[in-house]
Amino acid sequence: MNRIPETEALTKPHLLAEKAARYLYPNYARPDVVLVRGQGARVWDESGREYLDFYAGVAVSTLGHSHPALVRAISEQATRLVHTSNYYYNEPNILLAEQLATRAKMAHVFFCNSGTEANEAMLKLARRHFFERGDANRYEIIAFESAFHGRTMGSLAATGTAKYRQGFGPLGGVTHVPYGDLAAVESVLSARVAGIIVEPMLGEGGAVEAPPGFLRALRAIADQHGILLLVDEIQTGIGRTGSFLATGAEEVRADALTLAKGLGGGVPIGALLTGPHLEAALPKGSHGSTFGGNPLASAAALAVLQTLDEEGLVERARELGVRLRDRLDALVKKSAFVTERRGRGLLQAIELVPQVSAGAVLARLRERGLLVTLAGANALRLTPPLVLTDEEFEKGLSILEETLQDLSS
């Protein structure tokens, strides 16, 4: 076994950075920071530097880091049963399906391991639904510009940002129209369209909220034309926007809906939730996953849902979201570099003037101990864990405000 003892790796950070550059595939642009530990909304790198985590592994670490409930659930499940494959049922998975179906008011749940897989399943479901009904020519999907649905071929075809699709074509079967533009949706409807895939709020696209009534209007269009409304709540779900589902706030019913990111609190898991009328869309054997819904990930997700309730984290996200909105709105007024604030709950972004690179500001924030992500054209996106304390909220915003203020000098 060619394994560096942990102590050596940690006392010689340069060794890790060198190995990273040498062995890891260079598809990500990342700084030489190796994160080794986390607690709540704080993480530490290998040199012992502390950071405030206002990105939560891209809206994933719902309960922050090392939450005792999550640690306990994973540890206990690991001593019992980690994997079974879907040749047999497993207990935590059944209980999780019940929880999700009940909370989302959907009939059934299919499990996989990531967001893109959940969307892949949803897109396959849409095609197969019409195929099973003898309407195999209905296979096209309407999607939105700047939407993000994942990186596998099917989900990538639905992703509405050209830079993610570039060089991977041909990717077919999807027509993109501007987000929020109902007339554009109507204009591309045809007898070939099977469904509309939509994020209730653009996540990667920069925390762009749907115009009021947009989702409800899409529901009406889908009903009118007998097509499916496919809702991607991979980033917005699990309480992040201040309600369990972002579509819940508008009480819009999806035919099918996907979850991933925050669901497992950091343990990979994805889910496709379907309405009762879609139970024949994917017949036995037509779709599947080896790891999907495994006991370990299911136990983690159960712990996330239980902790959301016990600690009132959905309400917390809503309340912190209001405070975050007010502080960021003030920043828009005060700072010459911030043009706009967008989003709600703990999924918000500020757009910077084109003269200032959001990437450069992100690096400065990191130097001062605050981790955020980029989104949209030139925006900073804030997606802290739902367990963020008042003190951490204050500290994070002070760093953000001071850093933007110091840009003028």
Ligand X SMILES: *Cc1c(COP(=O)(O)O)cnc(C)c1O
**Residue 14, C-beta contacts closer than 8 angstroms, at least 6 positions apart:** none
Site for ligand X in 117-136 (CB under 6 A): 119
| 116 scored as a contact of ligand X (CB under 6 A) | yes
Of 108-116, 241-249, 276-284, 359-367: span binding ligand X (CB under 6 A): 108-116
Nearer residue to ligand X within complex by CB, 114 or 247: 114
148, 214, 244, 337: the catalytic one is 148
**Residue 242, C-beta contacts closer than 8 angstroms, at least 6 positions apart:** 249, 314, 315, 317, 318, 321, 344, 345, 346
261 is catalytic: yes
- Work out which of 62, 77, 114, 373 binds ligand X, going by CB under 6 A: 114
SS3 state of residue 286: coil
| 109 scored as a contact of ligand X (CB under 6 A) | no
* Cβ neighbour number for residue 61 with a 10 Å cutoff: 29
232, 244, 255, 393: the catalytic one is 232
Cα–Cα distance for residue pair 266/35, rounded to 1 Å = 14
105 is catalytic: no
* Encoded tokens for 226: 């007998």
Residue 257 C-beta: closest distance to ligand X, Å? 11
148 is catalytic: yes
Cα–Cα distance for residue pair 60/91, rounded to 1 Å = 24
| 266 scored as a contact of ligand X (CB under 6 A) | no
- Work out which of 38, 57, 64, 115 binds ligand X, going by CB under 6 A: 115
Cα–Cα distance for residue pair 400/409, rounded to 1 Å = 15
Residue 190 C-beta: closest distance to ligand X, Å? 25
**Residue 173, C-beta contacts closer than 8 angstroms, at least 6 positions apart:** 139, 140, 141, 157
Under DSSP, the state recorded for 40 is B
| 41 scored as a contact of ligand X (CB under 6 A) | no
| 150 scored as a contact of ligand X (CB under 6 A) | yes
Nearer residue to ligand X within complex by CB, 146 or 235: 235
What is the secondary structure of 305-318 as a DSSP string? HHHHHHTTHHHHHH
Beta strands in 234-346 (DSSP E): 256-259, 270-274, 338-344
Nearer residue to ligand X within complex by CB, 208 or 362: 208
Nearer residue to ligand X within complex by CB, 200 or 295: 200
**What is the dihedral angle through the alpha carbons of 248, 250, 251, 252, rounded to the nearest 10 degrees?**
-100
| 304 scored as a contact of ligand X (CB under 6 A) | no
Nearer residue to ligand X within complex by CB, 176 or 327: 176
Residue 261 C-beta: closest distance to ligand X, Å? 6
Residues in the chain, total: 409
What is the secondary structure of 25-38 as a DSSP string? -TTS---S--EEEE
Residue at 117: amino acid letter: E
Under DSSP, the state recorded for 244 is S
Residue at 207: amino acid letter: A
Binding mask 203-242 for ligand X (x = CB under 6 A): xx---------------------------x-xx-------
| 248 scored as a contact of ligand X (CB under 6 A) | no
Of 32-40, 146-154, 334-342, 385-393: span binding ligand X (CB under 6 A): 146-154
| 199 scored as a contact of ligand X (CB under 6 A) | yes
- Residue 331 backbone dihedrals phi, psi, to 5 degrees: -65, -40
111, 244, 255, 261: the catalytic one is 261
For Cα atoms 198, 102, 123, give the angle at the middle one, nearest 5 degrees. 30
CB 346 within 8 A of CB 382: yes
Binding residues for ligand X, how many (CB under 6 A)?
15
Nearer residue to ligand X within complex by CB, 241 or 307: 241
- Work out which of 260, 272, 328, 404 binds ligand X, going by CB under 6 A: 260
| 247 scored as a contact of ligand X (CB under 6 A) | no
- Report the interface residues with ligand X, using CB under 6 A: 114-116, 119, 148-150, 199, 203-204, 232, 234-235, 260-261
Catalytic residues: 148, 232, 261
